[in-house]
Amino acid sequence: MIMKKETPGQNPPDLTVAIGGLVLKNPVMTASGTFGYGEEYVPYCDLNRLGAVVVKGLSLEPRLGNPPPRIIETPSGMLNAVGLQNVGVRAFLSEKLPFLRRYDVAVIANIFGETVDQYRRVAHILSGAAGIHALELNISCPNVKKGGVAFGARPEAAAEVTANVRAETDLPLIVKLTPNVADIAEIALAVEEAGADGVSLINTLTGMSVDIEKRIPHLANVTGGLSGPAIKPVALRMVWQVVHAVKIPVIGIGGIMTAADALEFLIAGARAIQVGTANFVRPSATMEIIDGISDYLTRHGLGSIDKLIGSLNTNPSNGD
């Protein structure tokens, strides 16, 4: 049970943030692929309190996913190679979305395709459905043979798929970026110019782990995506770079386990954040993070989260 803290005689701070036309009650979202379709977390979270739920990546047709083993824990993190197993966009609309619509929470559909045309068709189907508040374009999955990161690694390809989906939908469009590139800001700029309303970063870092006794990879896919606290400093650095490169809102993702982690991203300029691996470790992590952000703003006398976002002072000796 989650008890809302009441401070007598003091209004709770305003946590509202906007991403394009999408207004969220607070900046805390669940990262795609770490929260199922929401239902799995009902015993541990009040979905009504979340800024948004970003659902597991959806493709035009159902996907079987990769063979097991799919995950392995690594120092301060984990590798996964699930391979975008999902029920397909139509089954999502008929079987999964009705449950989420019972809650007062923004639903962001993460979408994936092997071709530009598949991305367009998934976006088209979702745009006609009630109860979808935004799209997150996954051009950054490292665990599939076709599509995914192939679109996210080059600015021209990223811009092409973004522009095509943009033409297909009026929904706010977020593009999720891969860190497995030389210059992430260049990709962010390309998708901004192609019509994205926001960018979210980072997806997982490509990694690998070996079972030395059997001399085989720990993952059947050989490589996988690294997530968890291990990637947080890298994610924070990339968010900070992208915040300074683009004008559209940036959503920070990568190893956020606590409110303190979330605050680092917000101070560095992220308009919102996504919680991923922490949901696996502490299923009510998002609730603790929302409370922690609110408490921090109260403690620092900030009436609104707008005053915090991007408030990083990189020249503290010149400050007061």
Partner 1 sequence: MPEGSSVTTGEILDNRMVARDHFLMRVFLPLSFARPLPGQFVMVRDCRLSGPLLARPLSVFGFQRRPDHSVMELLYRVAGRGTSLFSRMKPGEGLCVLGPLGRGFSIHADVKRIVVVAGGVGIAPLSFLVDEGYRQSPSLEKRELRVYLGAGTEELLTCRERLSGVCDLRICTDDGSLGYRGPVTGLLGEELHEFAAEDTAIYACGPTAMIRELGRLLRNSPLRCEVSLEERMACGVGACLGCAVAVQNAAGRREYRRVCHDGPVFDLREMIFNGS
Q: How far is the CB of 129 from partner 1 (least distance, A)?
A: 22
Q: Which stretch binds partner 1 (CB under 8 A): 147-155, 185-193, 273-281, 307-315?
A: 273-281
Distances 59 to 65, 143, 206 between C-alpha atoms, Å = 12, 14, 22
Q: Which stretch binds partner 1 (CB under 8 A): 31-39, 142-150, 197-205, 295-303?
A: 31-39
Orientation of helix 259-267 relative to helix 232-245, angle to 10°: 30
Should residue 31 be labelled a site residue for partner 1 when binding is judged by CB under 8 A? no
> Cα separation of 71 and 48, whole Å?
30
CB of 248 closer than 8 Å to CB of 192: yes
Should residue 216 be labelled a site residue for partner 1 when binding is judged by CB under 8 A? no
Should residue 228 be labelled a site residue for partner 1 when binding is judged by CB under 8 A? yes
Question: Residue 205: beta bridge partners?
Answer: 226
In which residue are the tokens 């745009």 written? 127
Question: Residue 207: beta bridge partners?
Answer: 224
Among 210, 222, 260, 281, binds partner 1 (CB under 8 A): 281
Closest among 109, 119, 248 to 191, alpha carbons compared:
248
Should residue 59 be labelled a site residue for partner 1 when binding is judged by CB under 8 A? no
What residues between 82 and 101 interact with partner 1 by CB under 8 A?
Answer: 82, 85
Should residue 112 be labelled a site residue for partner 1 when binding is judged by CB under 8 A? no
Q: How far is the CB of 70 from partner 1 (least distance, A)?
A: 5
Q: Which is nearer to partner 1, 20 or 283 (CB)?
A: 283
- Annotated catalytic residue, options 79, 108, 141, 231: 141
Distances 33 to 126, 181, 260 between C-alpha atoms, Å = 18, 22, 23
Give the contacts of 94 (CB within 8 A, at least 6 positions apart). none
How many residues of this chain interact with partner 1, rule: CB under 8 A?
Answer: 35
Give the contacts of 89 (CB within 8 A, at least 6 positions apart). 58, 59, 60, 109, 111, 122, 125, 126
Q: Where does residue 38 fall: left (phi above 0), alpha (psi -120 to 50 degrees), or beta otherwise?
A: left
> Cα separation of 226 and 222, whole Å?
13
Among 15, 24, 28, 70, binds partner 1 (CB under 8 A): 70
Should residue 221 be labelled a site residue for partner 1 when binding is judged by CB under 8 A? no
Should residue 42 be labelled a site residue for partner 1 when binding is judged by CB under 8 A? yes
Q: Which stretch binds partner 1 (CB under 8 A): 73-81, 97-105, 154-162, 241-249?
A: 73-81
Among 121, 127, 185, 280, binds partner 1 (CB under 8 A): 280
Should residue 12 be labelled a site residue for partner 1 when binding is judged by CB under 8 A? no
Q: How far is the CB of 285 from partner 1 (least distance, A)?
A: 10
CB of 269 closer than 8 Å to CB of 239: yes
> Cα separation of 216 and 32, whole Å?
29
Q: Which is nearer to partner 1, 16 or 209 (CB)?
A: 209
Among 13, 27, 51, 77, binds partner 1 (CB under 8 A): 77
Annotated active-site residue 141? The verdict is yes
Q: Which is nearer to partner 1, 6 or 213 (CB)?
A: 213
CB of 105 closer than 8 Å to CB of 52: yes
The residues annotated with a catalytic role in the active site are 141
Q: Footprint of partner 1 on this chain (CB under 8 A)?
A: 33-36, 39-44, 56, 64-65, 67-73, 76-78, 80, 82, 85, 228-229, 277, 279-284
